[in-house]
């Protein structure tokens, strides 16, 4: 979930090329793909957007590959629940951020129903819901590449925003999956200078998950191995050897890692030989905080479409916008320390109650009386994700470029955190990295 109000958009497209809307790879092969005699086997670790798209492209090139996925399903940080409301809900990514991307093309060519999300924003400010506030927090906290490398919070304070604005600043940082005290006002802007997928956020009538599942995963499902966490990669020999948690081994000529940056930071995968220290340092300079989505179903719609500024949850969003259904579902989009706090409460019931208490305060007790049920999707406690998405931490510098560099022409790094075009923390950004690393493998 990202706001695009303050970013200078460039009209460059990915790698300076507009991708074909038809088969996602099709007629631009001559320009998109290098001449290559590569005929080895590629192993992709992770069946999220980046890994799935990489597999899709490899299949289209007739290259032998397998995708090895730790969890019991495909999609990674995309997920769908069909039995909560009278419309499907996306458990992870749900907005298509602009249509000028491979996924924008795919949504067009497949006739996928998407709607512009123009929903209105209100603020919880000084203990009341209001549609306007005296300070334009958004423009004050706007990222600016000319500013020093300080956090959103520090900058907001320097600009005279008092404590009463704390959770409005938090909501803006939370859009980037971050705490306001961690995300850099400078680097966030520097990294996003390349953002070119468009300003408009779209919602799927069905689900974002389906777009990938039906059009990409479906094509390659025979090459995906589930329930297989990779724990060790040995790349000293001619081939790369992979071991999983159960003691099985796999062999490939090239390996593409698409796991979340948290998995690399926590060294959940051992490398033999160890990765260069500069690379490990780079992983650790990239931010990825806690994140969860809590869906609250109510018998009446007492709330506004977007509510910013809660102390328990800084961003509530009306789920029904863009959907073909009528159930009243309010999404609590909880990021950073707020997600850590809710996780620490220990149960879905406690999380739900904390949110209902806050909504009762905002809307005169109407939440609890009309509450039906909830679904908590906590991405932080998912052992193969461990958070929301990457952000530009204070001090990040060029860490993403170093993190994304291949090692020994054998290990290739993709996934949203490795996006260098400002599209990190998005699905289309993850897809772009899968595509980029296929090209790098073909060139290697």
Ligand X SMILES: Cc1cc2nc3c(=O)[nH]c(=O)nc-3n(C[C@H](O)[C@H](O)[C@H](O)COP(=O)(O)OP(=O)(O)OC[C@H]3O[C@@H](n4cnc5c(N)ncnc54)[C@H](O)[C@@H]3O)c2cc1C
Which residues would be at the binding site for ligand X (CB under 6 A)? 1, 45-51, 68-71, 76-78, 92-95, 97, 229-230, 258-260, 263, 268-269, 291, 293, 379, 384-385, 388-389, 415-416, 425-427, 430
In Å, how far are 8, 71, 118, 171, 179 from 147, measured between CA atoms? 16, 41, 30, 21, 19
CB of 43 vs ligand X, minimal distance in Å = 10
How far apart CA 272 and CA 292 sit, in angstroms, is 34
How far apart CA 215 and CA 107 sit, in angstroms, is 10
CB of 126 vs ligand X, minimal distance in Å = 29
How far apart CA 389 and CA 126 sit, in angstroms, is 30
CB of 50 vs ligand X, minimal distance in Å = 3
For ligand X, give the closer residue by CB, 165 or 209.
Answer: 209
For ligand X, give the closer residue by CB, 309 or 415.
Answer: 415
In the DSSP assignment, the letter for residue 417 is G
CB of 78 vs ligand X, minimal distance in Å = 5
For ligand X, give the closer residue by CB, 144 or 251.
Answer: 251
In Å, how far are 97, 248, 277 from 231, measured between CA atoms? 33, 10, 19
CB of 215 vs ligand X, minimal distance in Å = 15
How far apart CA 255 and CA 432 sit, in angstroms, is 17
For ligand X, give the closer residue by CB, 217 or 426.
Answer: 426
Handedness of CA 15, 77, 285, 45 (dihedral sign): negative
Phi, psi of 244 (to 5 degrees): -105, 175
CB of 225 vs ligand X, minimal distance in Å = 9
In the DSSP assignment, the letter for residue 10 is -
CB of 177 vs ligand X, minimal distance in Å = 7
How far apart CA 310 and CA 3 sit, in angstroms, is 18
For ligand X, give the closer residue by CB, 263 or 355.
Answer: 263
For ligand X, give the closer residue by CB, 385 or 403.
Answer: 385
For ligand X, give the closer residue by CB, 93 or 402.
Answer: 93
């Amino acid at each position: 979930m990202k706001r695009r109000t303050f970013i200078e958009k460039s009209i460059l497209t990915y790698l300076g090329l507009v991708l074909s809307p038809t088969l996602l790879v099709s007629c631009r092969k001559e320009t998109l793909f290098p001449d290559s005699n590569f005929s080895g086997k590629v192993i992709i670790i992770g069946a999220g957007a980046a890994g799935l798209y990489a597999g899709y492209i490899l299949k289209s090139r007739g290259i032998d590959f397998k995708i090895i996925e730790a969890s019991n399903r495909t999609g990674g940080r995309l997920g769908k629940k069909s039995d909560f409301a009278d419309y499907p809900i996306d458990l992870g990514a749900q907005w298509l951020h602009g249509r000028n991307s491979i996924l924008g093309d795919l949504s067009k060519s497949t006739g996928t129903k998407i709607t512009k999300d123009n929903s209105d924003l209100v603020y919880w400010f000084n203990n009341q819901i209001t549609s306007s506030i005296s300070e334009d927090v958004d423009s004050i906290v706007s990222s600016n590449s000319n500013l020093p490398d300080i956090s959103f919070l520090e900058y907001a304070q320097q600009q005279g925003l008092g404590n009463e604005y704390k959770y409005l600043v938090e909501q803006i940082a939370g859009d980037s999956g971050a705490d306001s005290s961690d995300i850099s006002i400078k680097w966030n802007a520097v990294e996003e200078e390349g953002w070119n997928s468009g300003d408009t956020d779209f919602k799927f009538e069905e689900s974002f998950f389906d777009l990938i599942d039906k059009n990409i995963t479906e094509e390659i499902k025979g090459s995906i191995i589930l329930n297989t966490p990779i724990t060790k990669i040995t790349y000293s020999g001619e081939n790369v050897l992979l071991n999983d948690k159960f003691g099985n081994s796999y062999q490939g000529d090239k390996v593409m890692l698409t796991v979340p940056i948290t998995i690399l930071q926590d060294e959940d995968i051992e490398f033999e030989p160890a990765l260069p220290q500069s690379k490990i340092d780079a992983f650790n300079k990239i931010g990825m905080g806690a994140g969860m989505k809590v869906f609250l179903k109510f018998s009446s719609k007492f709330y506004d479409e977007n509510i910013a500024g809660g102390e328990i949850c800084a961003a509530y969003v009306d789920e029904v916008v863009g959907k073909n259904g009528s159930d009243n579902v309010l999404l609590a989009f909880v990021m950073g320390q707020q997600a850590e706090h809710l996780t620490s409460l220990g149960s879905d019931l406690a999380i739900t109650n904390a949110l209902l208490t806050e909504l009762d305060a905002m809307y005169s007790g109407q939440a609890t009386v009309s509450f039906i049920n909830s679904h908590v999707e906590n991405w932080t406690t998912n052992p193969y994700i461990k958070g929301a998405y990457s952000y530009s931490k204070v001090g990040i510098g060029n860490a993403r470029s170093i993190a994304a560099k291949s090692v020994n022409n054998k290990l290739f790094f993709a996934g949203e955190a490795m996006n260098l075009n400002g599209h990190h923390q998005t699905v289309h950004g993850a897809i772009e990295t899968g595509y980029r690393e296929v090209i790098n493998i073909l060139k290697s």
